[in-house]
Amino acid sequence: MIVNKVKFKAYDWKISYQTTRKLANPRETLILDVGCGNEEKTAIHKELVNMVVGLDIKLNVLKEAK
C-alpha cells in the first residue's frame, strides 16, 4: 500500500493577512478563526474586515481573548 505523506506547515498569519487585504471588498468579509487560542493573531485581521469570530475548544483561553 502506498500512502501519500502530507506535510503540514504551521499557520502563517502573515499570509492570511495578505490574502485578506487582496479581497475585492474586505469590509464586507467575515473571518472565522477556528482554533483561535487567545486571539492574538485573530485581532490583527479586525482592522481589515467587518467582523472576526474566534472559536476554540479551550474555554480558559477564550476567556483571555479580547
What per-residue confidence (pLDDT) applies to 11?
Answer: 65
Task: For 3-56, write each residue's pLDDT tens digit.
Answer: 555 555 566 777 878 888 887 677 788 888 888 877 777 888 888 888 888 888
Helices and strands of the chain, counted as H and E runs? 3, 2
Count of positions (residues) in the chain = 66
Domain residue limits, the chain: 29-66
What per-residue confidence (pLDDT) applies to 62?
Answer: 73
And the C-alpha cell for 28?
Answer: 464586507
